[in-house]
Amino acid sequence: MSQEILNKIFETIESRKGVDPNSSYVASLFEKGREKIAEKVGEESIETIIEAIKDDKEKLASESADLLFHLMILWSDAGLKPNDIFDILSARNGISGHDEKASREK
């Protein structure tokens, strides 16, 4: 179910491209450009960190959802799809984090 909901949300995000920015928050972000979208991802990241430090699980979950939503808008703007990210995560599964990071530093 979790991957299914992400894909449904991503389809909705994709459908907002070219829509009147006055009728859609996502369309308004697309119109403002990648820099603004990335800024929103940064804002949501900070809010997620704050709630994690406060140890408020409900707010952490809510801010995490906001972060993931804005990250998916960024993916869409960059021409990425959720499966592009899922494929990378799948390939990394079972590999030590230290080993995986070391392989990228070459």
pLDDT at 2: 78
- Residue 84: which domain range? 2-104
Tokens 């409900």 sit on residue: 58
pLDDT of residue 97: 64
pTM assigned to the model: 0.86
**DSSP states of the chain:** -HHHHHHHHHHHHHHTTTS-TTT-HHHHHHHH-HHHHHHHHHHHHHHHHHHHHHT-HHHHHHHHHHHHHHHHHHHHHTT--HHHHHHHHHHHTTS-HHHHHHHH--
Structural domain count, the chain: 1
Please check the confidence at residue 38 and state whether its pLDDT lies above 70.
yes
Q: Which residue has the higher pLDDT, 54 or 93?
A: 54
Pick the more confident residue, 21 or 3. Answer: 21
We report the CATH number of the domain holding residue 87 as 1.10.287.1080
